[in-house]
C-alpha cells in the first residue's frame, strides 16, 4: 500500500521532500494546497501523475489524503496541523513545528482525542545514517567535555531584507528568524545527543525588525557546555566538534552531515561516516512511512520522536524569550 500524500507549500523544500517520499516507494503525491491555482499547477509539473490542486484548506483535507506535509511559513503550522488532525489526516510538519509549548500542548491534546492520527516534525538530519553513527560514537566515548555545532548560511532572502522588503523567513510576524530556522538543526542535534540542558542562553544579533539574523546559544549541562552558532546573514565554514578528553568527533556540517571523522588524539584520524545521500530527506520520509504503515520493529520510535520534538520546542521557546524575542502567538 502507498500513502496518499498531500502537500502544503510549493517551495524548494517541498519539492525535495516529495522527491524523497516518492523515492521510498511508500508515497503517492495526489493533492497540492496552494494559495493560488497557478502556483499549485506549476508545482505539479515537477511530478508525473495526476495531482489535484486545491485553494480551500478544508476541501484539500477532505480529499482523501492519508498524510499531509506542511511547509508553509512557521506561523501557519499550528492552524494547518490542527485542522489536519481534526480531519483525521496524519501530519508531517517542517521544523520548527510550533511556536511555543502552549501550541504544542493543544496539538498533543487533540492527538489524544484522535488516537489513529500521528504527527511528526521533519528534522531530516537526525534520521540520517551519519547522525546515527555520531550517536553511537558519542555513547562509546569515555568522557564528554563539550561540543560546538555551527550552521551559518547566508539566506537568499537576506538581500530582500537589506533592500527594505519583508521576507517571511526573517520576520517575527511569521514566527521566523535564525533560531527558528537554521538554529533548529544544531539544537535538535544537541538535545538528541545530550538531552535537555540544565539552563540555556541565547545571545542574538537582532535585525531592525526585531527578528534574529544570527546568534550564539550556550546550553549548560552538569559537567559541560554545548555552544551553537548559527545565522542567516553570513556564511561560515567552521567545523562542528564533540570533545572527549583527547579524542574528538569532527563533523563537516551539523545539518548536512557530509563527512564525520574520529580523531583519537594520538595521531589516528578515521572517517566514520558513510557517503551522504543525494536527497537528505529520504531517510526521514521512510521513517515516517514505516510508522504510519506499522513496519517499524521498535515500537517506541514514534513516542521517542514526539518527546524529542516537544523538548526542542520547549528549549527553543526559552531561548527566544531569553533574547527578548516574542512572536504574536506568545501573547
Residue in 279, 322, 331, 288 with CA at minimum distance from that of residue 306: 288
Instruction: Decide the pairing of beta strands 199-206 and 212-220.
Output: antiparallel
Residue 331's pLDDT is: 78
Q: Where are the alpha helices (DSSP H) in the chain?
A: 12-23, 37-44, 57-61, 74-86, 101-113, 129-140, 158-162, 184-194, 282-292, 301-322
CA dihedral 162→168→173→174, nearest 10 degrees, is -150
The 10s digit of each residue's pLDDT in 34-49 is 999 999 999 999 999 8
| Bridge partners, 53 (sequence order) | 32
Residue 312's pLDDT is: 98
Angle at 266 between CA 261 and CA 268, to 5 degrees: 40
Domain ranges of the chain: 3-124, 126-280
Segments of the chain scoring below 70 in pLDDT = 296-297
Residue 297's pLDDT is: 63
CATH architecture assignment, domain 126-280: 2-Layer Sandwich (3.30)
Q: Which residues contact 154 (CB under 8 A, 6 or more apart)?
A: 232, 233, 234, 235
Residue 85's pLDDT is: 98
| 3-124 is classed CATH 3.40.50.720 | yes
Residue 264's pLDDT is: 97
Whole-structure pTM value: 0.96
Amino acid at each position: 500500500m502507498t500513502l496518499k500524500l498531500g502537500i502544503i507549500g510549493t517551495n524548494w523544500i517541498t519539492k525535495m521532500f516529495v522527491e524523497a517520499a516518492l523515492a521510498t516507494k511508500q508515497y503517492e503525491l495526489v493533492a497540492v494546497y496552494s494559495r493560488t491555482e497557478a502556483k499549485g499547477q506549476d508545482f505539479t509539473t515537477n511530478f508525473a501523475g495526476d495531482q489535484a490542486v486545491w485553494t480551500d484548506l478544508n476541501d484539500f483535507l477532505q480529499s482523501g489524503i492519508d498524510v499531509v506535509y506542511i511547509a508553509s511559513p512557521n506561523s501557519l503550522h499550528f492552524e494547518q496541523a490542527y485542522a489536519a488532525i481534526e480531519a483525521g489526516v496524519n501530519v508531517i510538519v517542517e521544523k520548527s513545528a510550533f511556536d511555543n509549548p502552549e501550541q504544542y500542548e493543544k496539538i498533543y491534546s487533540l492527538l489524544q482525542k484522535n488516537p489513529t492520527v500521528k504527527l511528526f516534525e521533519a528534522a531530516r538530519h537526525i534520521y540520517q545514517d551519519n547522525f546515527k553513527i555520531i550517536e553511537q560514537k558519542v555513547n562509546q566515548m569515555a568522557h564528554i567535555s563539550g561540543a560546538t555545532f555551527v550552521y551559518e548560511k547566508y539566506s537568499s532572502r537576506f538581500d530582500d531584507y537589506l533592500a527594505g522588503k519583508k521576507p517571511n523567513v526573517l520576520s517575527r510576524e511569521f514566527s521566523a528568524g535564525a533560531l527558528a530556522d537554521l538554529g533548529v538543526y544544531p539544537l535538535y542535534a544537541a538535545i538528541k545527543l545530550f538531552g535537555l540542558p540544565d539552563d540555556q542562553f541565547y545571545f542574538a544579533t537582532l535585525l531592525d525588525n526585531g527578528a534574529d539574523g544570527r546568534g550564539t546559544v550556550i546550553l549548560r549541562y552538569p559537567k559541560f557546555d554545548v555552544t551553537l552558532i548559527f545565522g542567516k546573514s553570513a556564511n561560515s565554514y567552521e567545523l562542528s566538534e564533540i570533545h572527549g578528553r583527547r579524542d574528538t568527533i569532527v563533523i563537516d556540517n551539523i545539518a548536512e552531515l557530509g563527512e564525520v571523522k574520529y580523531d583519537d588524539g594520538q595521531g589516528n584520524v578515521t572517517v566514520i561516516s558513510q557517503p551522504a545521500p543525494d536527497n537528505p530527506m529520504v531517510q526521514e520520509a521512510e521513517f515516517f512511512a514505516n510508522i504510519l504503515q506499522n513496519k517499524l520493529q521498535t515500537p517506541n520510535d514514534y513516542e521517542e520522536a514526539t518527546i524529542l520534538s516537544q523538548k526542542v520546542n520547549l528549549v527553543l521557546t526559552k531561548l527566544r524569550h531569553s533574547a527578548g524575542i516574542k512572536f504574536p502567538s506568545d501573547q
